[in-house]
Structure 1
Amino acid sequence: MQVDLTGKTAVVTGAARGLGAAIVTRLAGAGATVWAFDIRQQLLTDLCDQLAVEDVTIKPMVVDIRDAAQVENAIDTVCGTSGTLDVLVNNAAVDVSKPIEHLEAAEADNVVTTNLLGPIHLCLSTYRRMIGQGGGHIVNILSTAANRTWTEAGPYAASKTGLRAFTHTLFKEAQRDCPGIGITGVIAGGMETPFITERFPDTDLSKLQDPGIVADTILYALSVPKGSVIGEVVIVPRVESSWP
């Protein structure tokens, strides 16, 4: 996608690898100053080193998005340093693949807090700032699980379904509060990332999509001219079994 984000500031969560790293790379390549949020310090360092070889510089920050105070402090730092926050991509997510019969409360709590409350924390801290500056764009990475679930995915499906509902509500409020703010939900199907391959090593990789395709879809959403907005988009492998 040919998108010029020169002079824009972006925050990407779950940025250290997989889809997050692909998004960071695409946004930085389009000219944005990208703040890469992740809880994993070493993976952030590895990403910075990798991108430095490609002459791409990002701003890494260790942030636990489950902690609302950490999120608020991190967004304060971004805005205080860069002046504005133009793009937020809520990508961070975790999963525990267990039957509900064997699921522990702490495991369910971690999934829902990371996948639902974490993005909400980011939106609460960012949206009011975007209203103040008169524009911006929030992209929430959803999942086919927000539309149709499967076994061993109870908390994950619940969190992504909840985030989809929150995204729809935020879209309606942005229409009312500030038409300059774009809200986009990206329903992404299976991707060839550690999120799948580490948990399911026997997965047929030919049935997964490159995370770069999903990152390009985000750039497409950001490229739409003022006056229009992509409220929700679905990007899945052609053989995706969980859609529709």
Structure 2
Amino acid sequence: MTSSIHADLSGRRALVTGAARGLGASIARRLAGAGAGVCLADVRREDGEKVCAALTAEGHEARFVELDVRDADAVAAVVQDLEQDGWSPDILVNNAAVDVTKPIEHLTADEVTRVVTTNLLGPMYLCLALYRRMVARGEGHIVNILSTASNRTWTEAGPYAASKTGLRAFTHTLFQEAQRDCLGVGITGIVAGGMETPFITERFPDADTSKLQAPGIVADAVLCALSVPATSAMPEVVVVPRNEPSWP
């Protein structure tokens, strides 16, 4: 699926988490296609390196880094390594996310911790590492991928909804602080509805994919947010399939 958004990100460098497949890979491809250098971060090394190799073969600037966003020290180290390599990201897309589809009564503490740490604390760790650097440079953009679960939840989604609701609140706060700290730094939360990606299809193999949207649509929303003129801001975008059952 080709992009319907025309953006020029030449000279920009983007760090995308969860970029080995699904939405993250789509976002990485869109950013690279718009001229940005892309660093793909994921725990799935083999898949991530394949996406990276494909982008490089197409003539794009791409690199892969194995990263578990739950590890605050690892996050800080990756950002520092990129900076020391002369490759400081001025775009951050927090996309990595997991879910455990179980009733609350059957959840374990480890499962809750994994979901909340990946979906909420991971993005916060990355923002802690990169936001201050963006403010110091006077420019940059952070995009946090949210979910309709940050607005309205459903059964068997307790930790996921809690994590995405928390990330939405954090994103709104970060936007307000960027308005105060540096108008050159953009903050955008993208509320994404159901997509035809492994995040859905692996957990729900019988899902009606006709009711899901292509991840490229949400990736286009990222490009759109990054293309807003400096005189305006796009703090939040909602992108859902026409028949999305969980919005509003």
Above 0.5 in TM-score? Answer: yes
Residue pair 1:35, 1:78 contacting (<8 A) in 2 also: no
Residue pair 1:84, 1:133 contacting (<8 A) in 2 also: no
Residue pair 1:140, 1:167 contacting (<8 A) in 2 also: yes
For structure 2, list consecutive stretches of 5 or more residues without a partner in the other structure.
none
Equivalent residue in structure 2 for 1:187, among 188, 191, 198: 191
Equivalenced residue count is 244
Q: CA deviation at 1:228?
A: 0.7
Matches within 5 A, 1:66-85: 66-85=70-89
2: CA distance between counterparts of 1:57 and 1:193?
25
Query: Deviations 1:154-203 (Å, cap 9, x if unpaired)?
Result: 00000000000000000000000111100000000000000000000000
User: Does 2:222 correspond to 1:215?
Assistant: no
Equivalent residue in structure 2 for 1:115, among 115, 119, 130: 119
**Structure 2 partner of 1:42:** 46
Q: Name the Cα RMSD after superposition.
A: 1.0
User: Does 2:180 correspond to 1:176?
Assistant: yes
**Structure 2 partner of 1:63:** 67
**Structure 1 partner of 2:208:** 204
* Cα 1:83/1:39, change in 2 over 3 Å: closer
State the TM-score, normalized to the length of structure 1: 0.98
1: CA distance between counterparts of 2:218 and 2:55?
19
State the TM-score, normalized to the length of structure 2: 0.96
Equivalent residue in structure 2 for 1:128, among 129, 132, 135: 132
Matches within 5 A, 1:14-53: 14-53=18-57
3-state SS of paired residue (1:233): strand
**Structure 2 partner of 1:105:** 109
User: Match for 2:202: what amino acid?
Assistant: E
Equivalent residue in structure 2 for 1:95, among 93, 99, 121: 99
2: CA distance between counterparts of 1:2 and 1:220?
8
User: Match for 1:191: what amino acid?
Assistant: M
2: CA distance between counterparts of 1:77 and 1:53?
24
What percent of counterpart residues are identical? 64
3-state SS of paired residue (2:85): helix
User: Match for 1:201: what amino acid?
Assistant: P
